[in-house]
A and B are shown apart, each in its own frame.
Chain A
Amino acid sequence: MKTFKEFSIKQNIIIAMMTIMISVILLSSVSYYFIFNSSMNDIVESGSKEINKQIIFNYENYINDVLNTARQIQQDTIEYDMATSEAELQDIYNKSVKVNENTISIVLLGLDGNIILSSNNVAVQNTYLEEKDWFENALLDYSIFYFSSPHQQNVFRDSNANVISVSKVISYILNGEKQNAVLLIDISTETIVNLSDHTNLGEGGHIVILNDDDSLVYSSISSCYSDTCESITIAKEIIIGGSYVTVDGIKMYASVNTLNATRWRIATFSNVEILNSSRTNMFLILSLIMVVTITVVFYFANIITRRITSPLNKLNKHMLEIQENGVSYSPLEVEGQKEIIILSNAFNNMISEIRILMERVLREQKEKRKTEFIALQTQINPHFLYNTLDSIIWLSENNLNEQVVEMIVALSKYFRISISKGKTIITAKEELEHARSYLLIQKIRYSSKFDYSFVVDENIYDVKAVKLILQPLIENAIYHGISGDEDGIIIIRAYKKEELMVFEVENNGYGLTDSQIDGIYDNMKSEINNTSIGLKNVYQRLKLYYGEKANLEIISELDEKTIVKLTYPLKAKVK
């Protein structure tokens, strides 16, 4: 994986911006989605619960009506003695059936199963009451009204109508004695069906009613007709309470509650597909927002980075061009941010500086070659050699052998140092030795028309010196500084002064006027070659090798003396 350092600025900026934006949007979207989801759930859940409550309320009202009728009959039954007032009771039973349109029949059965009293419409058929759960269950607990599942009551009448049997053990009076009997009130299932029809449970929403053994009492949908249908199973698992479920692939909120005064539980399934669709919508909206934002961010990130990087790229391209084609002064014109302009200006300045420096280096190199060529010329000055050899010939012809030897030894030393195995830097001692050899030869040649002396501080012997800087000065001193009428004296001095190495060549000739000295200086520093090569060559070589601190100075007193003084730093690094 690439580290961030390997990415370009553009990539970095885009990655940073995208990461920040995506995480911010993602974070807010996710939290918003979850909050939306949970509050949506709450709303749907409480809505479903409300519907469930309403339905239960309706059913309970109905059941209370039934129970009120039943209790009234229970109360009436105990008020009359069956032996004496059967007709009155019969009348009450009949009226109750008439008044309550849901009530189909009212029967009072002895615990042995015989009919004691019944409303008019009951015709006895057969009596296998032991198989009838409304009979059996009523006997289980005397304190409660038992509500049966809808069933066909074929015990008493020819009818296929489904009824719900409400039964309870009650008391009746026979000959002043209290007896127990089972009161059975059959009610039509019509109301239960009707109540479920008027519910607002949405498409596919339905009601199931379960008995305490989780068996199906009633279901408002035809697809649920047995105890094992999906809705029953769900209600069974929930027991009481609510939860989101899926029935037949439809998302529903199932709410299960008990139905007061019965052992029944009623489960309502309300369609909550709206939850799914609104969730999907929210998801789509959030995704859309995300995509749009990311696109916009990407677009702007691109623009911003282009504004930053395009001048940088231009600069980069320019640099590459320079790298390939060398420095050519065509200043870079860049538009963009302040920093970039500063950068490009600095770059332009640098390039022009480099150009100047390069030109200078080029010129200096040229100069150096020239001076070295001249120095080389000086090393093996043929005229000097011819003249010296002539002098030696002349000396030997006059049998001045000692001087011949002296001369040849000096010449040999002179050339050895001149050449110095091609080195350009030698010690001060060798340079002085060279000067001495040269003076000795010239003195013999000029028949002792001048004299010379050395004033040398021995401490400078090991100081490095550029080769052949004294000889041209001495040559000048001999040719220009020796007057005919008195003996010329040339004094060579070498010493340290502070951090400087100093060589002086003094003659006692006519001297030079200030304007003459200025002329020499001008000549020395100019780049035009003219006759006075010696001084200029020395001067330029000093500057070349030792830099700005090296100097050549001419001090002159008219008719007294002239001193040419060379100075250069002791610790100079020779270029």
Chain B
Amino acid sequence: MKKIVILLLIFMFSMTLSSCKKTNYEVPFILYDEEDLFMMSFRDSIFTNNSSDITFRMYDSTDSQIIQNEIINGVLKDSPKLIIVNPVDRLGAYTIIEKSKLTDTPIIFINREPLETDLLSWDKVYYVGAKPEQSAIFQAELVMELFGGNPNDLNHYDLNGDGKIQCIILKGQEGHQDAEIRTEAVVNEMEENGYDLDILKIESADFRTSVAFDLMNELLPIYRDQIEVIFSNNDAMAIGAINALIEDGFFADDNLDGKVDSNTINWIPVVGIDGIEEAIQLIEDGYLYGTVINDSESMAKAVIELSNAIFNDREPDTISYTIELGKYIWIDYEKYSQPIVED
């Protein structure tokens, strides 16, 4: 009788204690926001390009650092071999590093670059992403190409012929590193190459299509006749701007073939960054002048390769991507635009 009681107790305890052990083949992949268009395509690239043993398990931080902190606390309890984090707040990344040190879990940060001091604080932290300056430089180059490539002799896209380029800059979220850098770098690049930019307005549209649409509706009555180019920190805002412009009568599809001609008078060059699918389609159809593709596929491949190296305890520098400072894998942007027709 006593033996039965003891057996029962042991059974009970073993039931409560035996928490199911998770397979360590899972690598937690913590996105900052699953609804971000670029992150969507990046996530898809991860899944389509992954042929390794490990599986990536996606977590969505819904653009909240608090939720991301909770997710990280949760996944670290299962002692994964590494975690991949797309930080919501780059300034908060140091806490993630400190937390991971406790369990000795390597981290690959992606897409949003933590402070260099934080990255250098531990040797098991990596960053895979693109240099935000590069996207801005490429964006500037696209515009320079469009205006003929000679700052002293602007072509017919200089509508008023004053030798200056009148522009509107749609800035991303205020305080966002990408927004700040892209805005600053695109202006710098243009000016360094001798182009005279006449910035009509720099306004934040929070990286969002709808905000950009509303903003453009506000700005168009004021600047309608002056705008010669619209720089957008990302494609989503560029699309919003194009929608507003279409409503205002720009981009008229004269022959109704679903495409517009860049050489008509009511065509305004808009340049974005990211290279999301919709933007590519708009370029094909003649609306959007160009974009700088944030190469989600290359980035996904780099992340997968680096993950496998860490996962299998191989030296990270054995992979096919260059690792700068033992930390950074830089993915190059790509320019993509409508063909420029010389007349």
Contacts and interface: CB of A to CB of B under 8 A. Distances in A.
Contact of A239 (B9, B66, B99, B117): B99
Interface in B23-47: none
A141 interface: yes
A263 B91 contact: yes
A240 B95 contact: yes
A240 B91 contact: no
18 contacts: A27-B9, A31-B12, A49-B70, A71-B174, A143-B177, A145-B175, A239-B99, A240-B69, A240-B96, A241-B70, A241-B73, A241-B99, A257-B66, A258-B65, A258-B69, A258-B91, A260-B92, A263-B94
A71 B181 CA distance: 14
A34 interface: yes
A259 B88 CA distance: 11
B120 interface: no
A23 B91 CA distance: 55
A31 B8 CA distance: 13
Nearest to A171: B184
Contacts of A16: 1
B175 A67 contact: yes
Contacts of B158: none
B234 to A, nearest CB: 18
B304 interface: no
Interface of A: 16, 19, 23, 27, 31, 34, 49, 52-53, 56, 67-68, 71, 75, 140-141, 143-145, 171, 212, 239-242, 257-263, 265
A71 B175 contact: yes
Interface in B256-272: none
Residue among A52, A239, A242, A261 with max Cβ neighbours from chain B (10 Å): A239
Given A71-B174, A240-B95, A241-B73, A258 B180 contact: no
Interface of B: 1, 5, 8-9, 12, 16, 65-66, 69-70, 72-73, 88-89, 91-92, 94-96, 98-99, 102, 115-117, 174-175, 177, 180-181, 184, 202
A143 B112 CA distance: 13
Nearest to B174: A71
B117 A140 contact: yes
Residue among A27, A241, A259 with max Cβ neighbours from chain B (10 Å): A241
A257 B65 contact: yes
A409 to B, nearest CB: 85
B89 A23 contact: no
Contact of B73 (A23, A56, A240, A265): A240
B17 to A, nearest CB: 12
A147 to B, nearest CB: 10
Given A19-B1, A261-B89, A75 B202 contact: yes
Contacts of A52: 66
Nearest to A141: B115
B131 to A, nearest CB: 13
B177 A68 contact: no
Contacts of A145: 175
Contact of A240 (B1, B9, B72): B72
A260 B95 contact: no
Contact of B174 (A49, A68, A141, A242): A68
Nearest to A19: B1
A260 B73 CA distance: 18
Contacts of A262: 91
A242 B202 CA distance: 41
A71 B99 CA distance: 31
B181 A240 contact: no
Given A261-B175, A262-B91, A263-B91, A19 B5 contact: yes
Nearest to A30: B12
Nearest to A262: B91
A140 B115 CA distance: 10
A240 B88 CA distance: 15
A263 B114 CA distance: 11
A143 B99 contact: no
Contacts of B70: 49, 241
Contacts of A140: 117
A71 B70 CA distance: 30
Given A49-B70, A212-B94, A242-B73, 11 more contacts: A27-B8, A31-B12, A71-B175, A143-B180, A144-B115, A145-B175, A171-B184, A260-B65, A260-B89, A260-B91, A261-B91
A23 B117 CA distance: 60
A34 B70 CA distance: 24
B66 A56 contact: yes
Nearest to A38: B16
A241 B5 contact: no
A406 B69 CA distance: 139
A78 to B, nearest CB: 9
Contact of A27 (B12, B73, B181): B12
Nearest to B132: A143
Nearest to B15: A31
A68 B117 CA distance: 25
A258 B95 contact: yes
A239 B92 contact: no
A255 to B, nearest CB: 9
B69 A143 contact: no
B119 to A, nearest CB: 12
Nearest to A147: B91
A260 B68 CA distance: 12
Contacts of B5: 19, 23
Contacts of A241: 69-70, 73, 99
B174 A67 contact: yes
Contacts of B99: 239-241
Contacts of B181: 143
A37 B177 CA distance: 45
A242 B69 CA distance: 10
B104 to A, nearest CB: 14
A298 to B, nearest CB: 18
Nearest to A23: B5
Contacts of A23: 5, 8
Contacts of A143: 177, 180-181
Nearest to B113: A143
Contacts of A53: 66
Contacts of B72: 240
B125 to A, nearest CB: 15
A49 B282 CA distance: 44
A455 to B, nearest CB: 78
B98 to A, nearest CB: 5
B98 A239 contact: yes
B115 A258 contact: no
A69 to B, nearest CB: 11
Contacts of A31: 12
Contacts of B202: 75
Contacts of B12: 27, 31
B278 to A, nearest CB: 29
A277 B5 CA distance: 31
Nearest to B177: A143
Contacts of A263: 91, 94
What are the 3 closest A-B residue pairs judged by CB atoms, nearest first? A258-B92, A241-B73, A240-B69
B290 to A, nearest CB: 26
Contacts of B95: 239-240, 258, 265
A245 to B, nearest CB: 15
A141 B94 CA distance: 15
Nearest to A265: B95
B14 to A, nearest CB: 14
A52 B66 CA distance: 10
A383 B290 CA distance: 164
Nearest to B91: A263
Contact of B91 (A19, A27, A144): A144
Residue among A68, A140, A260, A262 with max Cβ neighbours from chain B (10 Å): A260
Contacts of A19: 1, 5
B175 A257 contact: no
A240 B102 CA distance: 12
Contact of A34 (B16, B89, B177, B184): B16
Contacts of B184: 171
A265 B12 CA distance: 41
